[in-house]
Amino acid sequence: MKRTRFEHILCVVAFCVFGASPTWGQSENGSTPADSDVTRSEPNAPRKWIPNATADATRLHETSGIVASRQYPGVFWTHGDSGNDPKLIAIDVEGRVLAEVMVSKAPNTDWEDICIDDQGNLYVGDIGNNHAMFPARYVYKIPEPDPHNPPTEAITASKRWRFKYLDKERFDCEALFWDGQSLYVMANLIPTKAVVYRLTEFRDGQMRLDQVADPRLAFPTGADVSSDGKHLVVSSYSAINVLEFERGDDSLITLSNKRTVRYPLKKGAIESVCFFGNDVIAMSEKGDLYRLTPEDFSEQVQFSEP
């Protein structure tokens, strides 16, 4: 999403946080995937905001979404922002491009985020709406390609959903996530307020927005639910938040016990985020990849410029 410098400044908001150390995303044996893939800092080293890897900027343009594959260990799917090709790009944790897959009949008007379910499907959110230009937005369901043997021809989305805005109130969205057989978007109503809506299909190809949470978060740019369904990570300008996630009997969700890592904006805002085992992978628009641990959130680390 392209913004003016003034809009960037408006979205920089700090919050007070509290909570214990999270334990999200463990595998069945309690291990963390690919622990040896990224060089860790020494415990007493300065906490500088330095990327663990950078993706090839000549192949990834204005990255705007990222999610970890659940079928192919160590693989992430990402995509470009508005104006780029309708293309899925598979990378590894070191930023190396593994595959590029074109998607037909799914124009990239303003692709903002991507998520994944447990049945091998990706969901791409064409949900951006700068300046409230569009009366409706779209989500595409796409069977996950094999990144190690990618198709040579464009693939087609297996489903397209359209949703309209409540009471004709148009808003921008940059965060999409999947949990419990449902899709959710996080709306940017004003720079200091986000609202979570569940997308509910009421007839074929048409979804409605049902408000399910009103978290105290500023301008979310990406989101993901941990594989155990207990935590939600949300990126925004200058901060990345992890919250406890719980679905209630009344169809509402509860977001609590927020833990925040803050980062400097000098190297670019974080535009997308996802869980990777016990860790969180954050990605800037320029393709810089950062890997954060549960301890970073428990300690409420405030990273400084390199």
- What pLDDT score does 39 carry? 39
Single pTM value for the model = 0.86
So what's the pLDDT on residue 65? 96
Average pLDDT of span 201-219: 93
What type of residue sits at position 58? T
Q: pLDDT band for 248, please (50, 70, 90 cuts).
A: confident
Q: What is the mean pLDDT of residues 181-186?
A: 95
pLDDT of 77: 98
Question: What's residue 212's pLDDT?
Answer: 95
Hey, what are 298's tokens?
A: 């428990």
Q: What is the pLDDT of residue 192?
A: 67
On whether the CB atoms of residues 224 and 114 are closer than 8 A, the answer is no
* Distances in whole angstroms, Cα of residue 256 to Cα of each of 230, 260, 306: 11, 12, 32
Structure tokens at 25: 């995303």
pLDDT tens digits, residue range 150-159? 999 999 999 9
Lowest mean pLDDT among 29-33, 79-83, 88-92, 212-216: 29-33
Averaged pLDDT, 45-65: 89
40 pLDDT more than 50: no
What the block records as the tokens of 227 is 């594989």
pLDDT value at residue 9:
37
Query: At residue 67, does pLDDT exceed 50?
Result: yes
CA 131/CA 118 separation, integer angstroms = 35
Domains recognised in the chain with CATH numbers:
5-25+54-298 (2.120.10)
3-state DSSP assignment of residue 275:
strand
